[in-house]
Amino acid sequence: MRVYRFIDSQKTAFPVKTLCRVCEVPRTSFYDWLAAQGAGPDEATVEEAYLANRIYDIWAESKRRYGVPRVTAQLWREGVKLNRKRVARLMCLVGIQGIHGRRKMTVTTRQDPKAQPAPDLVQRVFEAAEPNQLYVGDVTYIHTDEGFCYLAGVADVCSRRIVGWSIAEHLRTELCADALLAAALARGEGGLTGAIFHSDRGCQYTSGDYRQLCGELGMTQSMGSVGDSYDKGLASHCTSLRGSSRNCRIKKWMPRGFGVPGSPWEGIRPGPSSRHQFRRADGDGQAGCPCVSPGADRRA
C-alpha cells in the first residue's frame, strides 16, 4: 500500500513504468490499486471502521474501564453479534484496553490466633427472603499512584446492594467499623437490629471493638471457616467489583480535612452515581453509603 501511494505521488515527475520497475511492483497491480482507490473503500472496510468507532465509544463511556468481555457484552445488548476475538483485534488496532485492578497482590486477612471466632450461622447458604436479614462484609485493596488504599464493604445478601463502605490507608478495625456504621446510617435507626453479619476471621472482625459495635447495632456475628473462599465469595465479589470498576484508575483519593470541621461527619456531598460519600471526624479514612431510604432495596 505504501509503495503504491509513493508511486501515485511521484507519477507526475517520473514515468509510471520506471517507478514500478524501481519499486519492483507490477504495473497492473498499481493500476488495480488506483482503480480501487477511485471507487472508495469496500463494504468490509466501512463495517470495520464503524465497529472500531462504536467499540471506542463504549470504552470511553465506561471511563476507560471496559475490556474485551464487557465491550463484547455491550455490543450484544445493542444487537451487534460479534466474536470476542474480533473485538479484541479491533481494540488492539485502535490502541485501547480495559483496566487491570489486580496488578499487585497484598494480604488483607490476618487472623488473630488469640481471638475466639463467632460460630458459622450461614453455612454457605447465602440467601435471604427480604432485605435487612443477612449482611456480608469483606476488605479488599485498591492500587493508586500514591500506593495502596483499602476498601471495606457491607453488602445486603437479598439485594446484593453495597449498603456501606469505607476507604482508608490502613487495615485497622476502624476501617471495617466505619463501613458498618455507614450501613447503619443508610438503613436508619434500628435498621440493622436482628440481622446477621457474616465475614471471614480477620483480626478486624474478631476484635473486641467490632464485637461491641455489632452488639450496639443489634447484629449477630457469623464467621466462616479458614481458607475457604466459598464462605466469603459473595462479599469478595461485591467489594472487588466496586474497587476495580470504580477506583482502579484514581490517582489520588479525597484529601484529608474535607468538609465542615467539628461535625460527626466532615461533610456530606453527592458522589459518583448519586451516592453519598462522607468522612468521620475521628477516623483516618472515608466511609460511604448509597443515598437510599431504609428498606428501599430491590432484587438485582
* Percentage of the residues of the chain whose pLDDT score is greater than 70: 69
Question: Looking at per-residue confidence, does 54 or 42 come out higher?
Answer: 54
Q: Give this prediction's pTM.
A: 0.51
Task: Tell me the pLDDT band of 180, cut-offs 50, 70 and 90.
Answer: very high
Burial of 197 (0-12, 13-18, 19+ CB in 10 A): buried
Same domain, 225 and 282: yes
Report the pLDDT value the prediction gives residue 98, as an integer from 0 to 100.
87
Same domain, 254 and 185: yes
Per-residue pLDDT reduced to its tens digit, 219-256: 999 888 776 666 666 655 555 544 444 444 444 444 33
Chain-wide mean pLDDT for the chain?
75
Same domain, 138 and 83: no
Domain assignment present for 7:
yes
Question: What are the φ/ψ torsions at residue 272 (nearest 5 degrees)?
Answer: -60, 145
Containing domain of residue 86, as a range? 43-94
Same domain, 24 and 162: no
| pLDDT > 50? residue 129 | yes
Distance CA 135, CA 91 (A): 39
Report the pLDDT value the prediction gives residue 144, as an integer from 0 to 100.
72
Average pLDDT for 104-114:
62
Distance CA 25, CA 36 (A): 17
Same domain, 21 and 165: no
Q: What is the CA radius of gyration of the chain?
A: 28
Per-residue pLDDT reduced to its tens digit, 52-97: 999 999 999 998 889 999 999 999 999 999 999 999 999 998 999 8
Q: How many residues are listed for the chain in this entry?
A: 300
CATH number of residue 274's parent domain:
3.30.420.10
Same domain, 171 and 273: yes
Domain assignment present for 85:
yes
Same domain, 51 and 27: no
Per-residue pLDDT reduced to its tens digit, 191-200: 889 999 988 8
Same domain, 180 and 240: yes
Domain assignment present for 300:
no
> Count of H helices and E strands in the chain?
10, 8
* DSSP code for 32: H
Question: Looking at per-residue confidence, does 144 or 234 come out higher?
Answer: 144
Average pLDDT for 260-277:
36
Report the pLDDT value the prediction gives residue 290, as an integer from 0 to 100.
43
Same domain, 57 and 155: no
Question: What are the φ/ψ torsions at residue 223 (nearest 5 degrees)?
Answer: -135, 140
Report the pLDDT value the prediction gives residue 61, as an integer from 0 to 100.
92
Task: Tell me the pLDDT band of 106, cut-offs 50, 70 and 90.
Answer: low
Task: Tell me the pLDDT band of 102, cut-offs 50, 70 and 90.
Answer: low
Distance CA 41, CA 203 (A): 64
Return contacts of 252-258, CB within 8 angstroms, 24+ apart. Answer: 252/144, 252/145, 252/146, 253/144, 253/146, 253/149, 253/167, 253/286, 254/279, 254/286
Average pLDDT for 137-144:
81
Query: Cell match 449498603: residue?
Result: 163
Domain assignment present for 80:
yes
**In contact, 182 and 154? CB cutoff 8 Å:** yes
Per-residue pLDDT reduced to its tens digit, 3-29: 888 988 998 999 999 999 999 999 998
Task: Tell me the pLDDT band of 141, cut-offs 50, 70 and 90.
Answer: confident
